[in-house]
Amino acid sequence: MSDADRRDGSLFIVLEGGDGAGKTTQVALLSAWFDALGLAHVSTREPGGTPVGEAIRSIVLAGPEMDMPAESELMLILAARAAFIRDVVRPALEDGHLVLADRFSLSTMAYQGYGRGLDLDQVREAISIATGGLSPDLYLVLDLPAAEGEERQKHDGAEPDRIEAAGRSFRDAVREAYLELAASEPGVEVVSARGTPEDVHSRIKARLAARFPGTFPDRV
Ligand code: T5A
């Protein structure tokens, strides 16, 4: 998608971070804020967001008994992403809307590249096949020590999925990967995920206002 295909006002914002950092909570709070500001938007998640994406999600996030090579995991996630781009992201940006996503390609670099140990250049190349080179305007990484994310998830009482079951060292590697990616990739900012959901929400709003002053009010 070239910039010429995007209508004025379109924005693609992605929340990222380790499991249990609070992305889903923050997407809901941001979506309510965008509604209050009258900003047309689509809020969605990855893998998922389309019928094929949700079907793939149920395979990728099955229990640990669904054993698969890291390469299969990568290809499944990217198969979902290609549909997500075609059916959700591009149409919304072409209509001048805001897209707010819970995870995108930075997750693939952090989990399949750094976490699973796949070759980073190959992962990057595979991502660009799925996305056609489309990148978000901003990634906000919610940063939280892996143990605290795990603790937050325990309160939900759900059984760990395949990826969550990969263990503490995997979660630690993913957190470090995000920090490294934030230091080396353009358009990635880190926000502390500590504190109450409202504390984190205020930090995120302040970042968006600083980054996109024409879209978000500066008094937040
Ligand atoms: N994946 C995904 C890849 O490996 N590669 C990829 O390319 C992509 C796109 C997705 C999985 O897929 C992998 C990564 C993931 O393992 P998911 O369920 O979407 O799975 O991701 P999770 O991060 O596992 O989702 P969670 O819902 O568990 O975590 P969230 O969304 O970060 O956190 P949230 O908001 O659900 O909060 C978790 C708990 O903490 C509480 C909430 O109420 C909830 O109980 N909470 C807080 N508690 C205290 N203080 C706060 N500030 C809190 N904020 C939320």
Contacts 24+ apart (CB under 8 A), 152-156: 152/20, 152/21, 152/22, 153/19, 153/20
Q: Which of 153, 154, 198, 204 is the pocket-test mutation for ligand 1 (most atoms within 8 Å of CB)?
A: 153
CA nearest ligand 1 atom 40, residue: 152
How many whole angstroms from 103 Cα to the centroid of ligand 1?
A: 9
Ligand 1, residue 158: give the atom nearest the CA.
28
The pLDDT value recorded for residue 1 is 65
Ranges assigned E (strand) in 46-131: 98-102
Neighbours of 150 (CB within 10 A): 18
Q: What CATH number belongs to 3-211?
A: 3.40.50.300
CB 123 within 8 A of CB 109: yes
How many whole angstroms from 87 Cα to the centroid of ligand 1?
A: 24
How many whole angstroms from 18 Cα to the centroid of ligand 1?
A: 7
Instruction: Give the three-state DSSP class for 75.
Output: helix
Structure tokens at 111: 């989990």
Q: Which of 23, 78, 112 is the pocket-test mutation for ligand 1 (most atoms within 8 Å of CB)?
A: 23
Q: Where are the domains of the chain?
A: 3-211
CA 66 to chain centre: 23
CA nearest ligand 1 atom 50, residue: 196
pLDDT per position as a tens digit, 145-175: 999 999 999 888 888 899 999 999 999 999 9
How many whole angstroms from 7 Cα to the centroid of ligand 1?
A: 31
At residue 22, what are phi and psi to the nearest 5 degrees? 115, 20
Q: Which of 15, 16, 24 is the pocket-test mutation for ligand 1 (most atoms within 8 Å of CB)?
A: 24
- Give me the torsion for CA of 55, 45, 89, 218, rounded to 10°: 170
CB 101 within 8 A of CB 131: no
The pLDDT value recorded for residue 117 is 97
CB 99 within 8 A of CB 41: yes
Taking 70 as the pLDDT cut, the residues of the chain under it are 1-4, 219-220
